[in-house]
Amino acid sequence: MKIWMVALTSFDFLFFILSGVGLTNLIVNATIFDLIRNYFSEKSSFLNYLLTCMMCSGFWVGALISLFLGINPFMGGFTISLLSNIFDILKDFFIILTERNIVNAEAGENDV
Question: pLDDT, tens digit, for every residue of 42-88?
Answer: 999 899 888 988 999 999 999 999 988 888 888 889 999 999 999 99
With a CB cutoff of 8 Å and minimum separation 6, the contacts of 31 are none
* Mean pLDDT score of the chain: 85
Give the percent of the chain with pLDDT over 90. Answer: 36
Could you tell me the residue ranges of all domains in the chain? 10-111
Intra-chain end-to-end CA distance of the chain, in Å: 67
Q: What is the pLDDT of residue 72?
A: 85
- Exposed, middle or buried, 68 (CB in 10 Å: 0-12/13-18/19+)? exposed
